[in-house]
Amino acid sequence: MIYKTIKVEASSCYEIIIGRDILSRIGEFIRPLLGNCRVALLTDSTVDEIYGERIIEYLSAAGYAVDKFVIPSGEASKCADNLLEFLNFMADCKLTRSDAVIAFGGGVVGDMAGLSAALYLRGVKYIQIPTTLLAAVDSSVGGKTAIDIPAGKNLVGAFYQPSLVCCDTALMDTLDASVFRDGCAEVIKYGVILDKELYANLRCVDFDRESVVARCVEIKRDVVQQDEFDNGVRGLLNFGHTFGHAIEKMSNFEVSHGAAVAKGMIIAARMAPLCGLCDVSQELGKLLGEFGFNLDCKYTADELYDAILSDKKRRGDNITVVLPRSIGECILVTLTVEELHDKLKQILL
């Protein structure tokens, strides 16, 4: 069983272990970090049905007492009610400061488990075991934790780094094709923002999972180490997201995150030449098309602009967007909201 270890040196240091079929070794991986303790395992109903027995078996065999809490699968579960229920569950299970939380699922589970760990007893350790491609390459790394509230997605959260990320790429074998593709949008994002070699090696969904996940994680690690609290360069990770989030929101989340980010990346690529940068939209559109993304945007410039105005990344009358300078290099460009509106009108009807 070969695996790769990537070290993150942020406000706290931790390792990301990536390999195929490594879940059975979870006990061995966490023992040096957690010692003997109870663990509260947070997962969702889909992951629980497929892998629930297996993870409990591995943790129990390693001597861990496990208290499992299952939320329904889907974004709607990343809410305040479930957060509070999980915190009460941990208290009922009498978890102490020396106990820990394990997130076993996609980004929904990971974000909520991380926030719960940050809050419970003012902070207990937590481990991320991502089970989706998106969670493996993005949400499990870097310590952004959150829940959604009615006013918006991820509006309540904390920066709180995990103690370990253990990514078994075999878990992704059971993902729906569309969920896997959602993660591919983030993989392509990493190529466009910072790695033209990664980009050049992506042609379809059948890429070498372990090496691609590891490369994406290295890129995210490097960015997080420079700007853990998201005051500068970490903004590059939002390529396609400002427009994507607006599309997701307007569609009432019927357009999935990855599909919306793909559309958002194309809008950003088309905005670049309007800001004096190169036009990579044809090339990027071709790759996204090969991955099966539909790049049409059915919203008008006015509709998109209105949705973007409520983006949490807006500062006063300015908004910073991520635009490609070339494949493999993006920059942060700050526009006034009027400039943004004007450029959107040149791109969309």
Residues that bind ligand NAD (CB under 6 A): 44, 46-47, 50, 73-75, 78, 105-109, 111, 131-132, 134-135, 138-139, 142, 144, 153-154, 171-172, 174-175, 179, 182, 257
Smallest separation, CB 223 to ligand GLY (Å): 8
Among 193, 213, 194, 207, residue whose Cα is nearest residue 264: 193
Site string for ligand GLY, 237-256 (x = CB under 6 A): x-------------------
SS3 sequence, 229-240?
A: CCCCHHHHHHCC
Closest CB to ligand GLY among residues 141, 347: 141
Nearest to 109 by CA among 174, 44, 182, 12: 44
* Residue among 73 and 238 whose Cβ is closer to ligand GLY: 238
Closest CB to ligand GLY: residue number: 237
Each residue 201-230 as x (binds ligand GLY by CB under 6 A) or -, in order, gives -----------------------------x
Task: Tell whether the torsion through CA atoms of 167, 168, 171 and 172 is positive or negative.
Answer: positive
Nearer to ligand NAD, 221 or 257 (CB): 257
Supply the minimum distance, in Å, between the C-beta of residue 140 and ligand GLY: 10
Please report how close the Cβ of residue 251 comes to ligand NAD at its closest, in angstroms: 15
Choose between 237 and 246: whose C-beta lies nearer to ligand GLY: 237
The H or E element that residue 199 is part of is helix 196-200
* Binding partner of residue 128 among ligand GLY, ligand NAD, none, CB cut-off 5 to 8 Å per kind: none
What token pair was written down for 139?
Answer: 């949400």
Closer CB to ligand GLY, 48 or 218, in the complex: 218
Q: Choosing among ligand NAD, ligand GLY, none, which partner's interface includes residue 75 (Cβ < 5 to 8 Å by kind)? A: ligand NAD
Enumerate the β-bridge partners of residue 168.
19
Map residue 6 onto helix, strand or coil: strand
Q: Do residues 273 and 247 lie in contact, with contact meaning Cβ atoms separated by under 8 Å?
A: no
Residue list 122-151, contact with ligand GLY (CB under 6 A): 138, 142, 144
| Nearest-angstrom CA–CA distance, 48 and 334 | 43
CB of 138 to ligand GLY, least distance (A): 5
Selection from ligand GLY, ligand NAD, none that 171 binds (CB < 5 to 8 A by kind) is ligand NAD
Q: Report the partner that residue 234 touches, choosing among ligand NAD, ligand GLY, none (CB closer than 5 to 8 A by kind).
A: ligand GLY
Buried b (16+ CB within 10 A) or exposed e, 180-205: bbbbbbbbbbbbbbbbeebbeebeeb
Q: Does 234 bind ligand GLY (CB under 6 A)?
A: yes
* Dist. CA 265–CA 18, nearest whole Å: 27
Round to whole Å and give the CA distance between 130 and 338.
40
State how far the alpha carbon of 238 is from the alpha carbons of 40, 46, 90, 137, 320, in Å.
Answer: 31, 28, 33, 14, 10
Nearer to ligand NAD by Cβ, of 44 and 99: the residue is: 44
CB of 108 to ligand GLY, least distance (A): 14
Q: Is 165 helix (H, G, I), strand (E, B) or coil?
A: strand
CA distance 77 to 283: 37
Spatial contact of 39 and 63, defined as CB atoms under 8 Å apart: no
Question: Could you tell me the smallest distance in angstroms from the CB atom of residue 220 to ligand GLY?
Answer: 7
Query: Of these partners, ligand GLY, ligand NAD, none, which one is at the site of residue 78 (CB under 5 to 8 Å by kind)?
Result: ligand NAD
- Summarize as ranges the residues that interact with ligand GLY (CB under 6 A): 138, 142, 144, 230, 234, 237
